[in-house]
Amino acid sequence: MQTYDLIQKTRRLEPLTETELRWLVRSFTEGGIPDYMMSAWLMAVCCQGLTIEETANLTLAMRDSGDCLDLSGIGGVTVDKHSTGGIGDKTTLLVAPIVAACGGFVPKMSGRGLGFTGGTIDKLESIPGFSTSLSTEEFLAQTREIGCCVIAQSGNLTPADKKMYALRNLTATVDSIPLICASIMSKKLALGADCILLDVKYGSGAFMKTPQEAEILASLMVDVGKAAGKQCRAVITDMNAPLGANVGNALEVAEIISMLRGESRNTLTELSLALAAQMLVLSGKGDVIECRRMAEEALTSGRALDKLRAMIAAQHGDAAVCDDVQRLPQAKERVTVTAESDGFITGIQSEEVGLACLGLGAGRTAGHDTIDFGAGVTFAHFVGDEVHAGDALFTVYGSSVSLCEQAAARLRKAVTIGTEAPEQVPMIYRIVE
């Protein structure tokens, strides 16, 4: 078999067989195919696409390039959740303890942030002492005993994806829908959960800019999941504005704790309850109405907060943050920006918010960058809220006044105020089953 021939076939829209795709993935992972030839094939895929069958076969070949976890020892139906990423997206920190409090099992491997989109692992590591590096045995035992465990991706899971993603990042082929699907689903399938819920985002702060693009990706991932024998469902959600009031690692953890304590509630809460309900449905706990009620009760009763506290303690973190968020890292400086006129907030540009927080040190542009866990922004109002001149719009947190002022100037442009209330867009666009 020759790589040249496979490149030609993809360019000519001639489908590759399962055997050809497995050979291609295995040979590249083992170093038998040079980067320049794999880059050419990735570009051919980016330009010409793949069929659903090809995408499924590519995904399974990538899954099988390394280890696959066996979660059968957990002793119940396991459900994983994946978000395609967004500004202020901290739903895992709410959803995992809610589902666990309802008797579900959520074993989750998450990633670190790179660029303006934050990572769940960075948020958790802002909790003093919290360890995201556990052995497989510890990971399984904690999930079995507490119901949820979130750790960093580790071991020899999907080495093909690691190599291919690095190459895609260098060759402008990241935004290919079949390649995005194979990258995400190969990792989800390697983790081994019985059920997978996908939160596919669209908007200014997401990879997919329109709901139609998100629907194409969501449908493809669900098809691939089902082809692999998994229960799989996707929820398409809006990411044109940041999710929740806080953006920044410790700030987002503080917001989650506030919600679990019943002190605040916003669109983040509602979306997390909807996602938790879908995960419980997949877990066989009832229909969506019953599961939504179960999730609500777990939140309002404090049982979900107890699960978060137990997870933090089990992973060597300071569980007292659940009672006092001041124990989380705090920024040295803050700057508050107020409205200059009366009106309604008509938009908050997610990508600009993410880039402003990146400038504060809340994210990283390279893998070795150090994060300022206390940096970020807290919004006092959401899209659609009425404000008056002098009302606080947001507060910026950072290590110096100058950094805060630079971020504030960018954020002021990201928040638009108009004379009429904007049309409200539903948080959930569609559920793909």
Residues classed as catalytic: 82, 161, 168, 183, 187
Residues 6 or more apart in contact with residue 429 via CB below 8 angstroms: 202, 211, 214, 215, 236, 237, 238
CA distances 106 to 39, 140, 144, Å, are 36, 10, 9
- Residue 85 sits at the vertex; the CA angle it makes with 126 and 364, to the nearest 5 degrees, is 50
What is the residue type of 26?
A: R
The DSSP element (H or E) to which 39 belongs, if any, is helix 35-48
Residues 28, 163 contacting (CB under 8 angstroms): yes
DSSP string, 346-408: EEE-HHHHHHHHHHHTSSBSSTTPPP-TT-EEEES--TT-EE-TT-EEEEEEESSHHHHHHHH
What is the residue type of 253?
A: V
Residues 267, 427 contacting (CB under 8 angstroms): yes
List the beta strands (DSSP E) in 23-92. Answer: 79-83
Residue 221, both tokens: 């991932």
Residues 57, 65 contacting (CB under 8 angstroms): no
CA–CA distance, 7 with 39 (Å, rounded to integer): 10
The CB density around residue 249, as the number of other CB atoms within 10 Å, is: 31
Reference 281, options 56, 74, 146, 431; nearest CA is 431
Dihedral angle of Cα 347, 348, 351, 353, to the nearest 10 degrees: 160
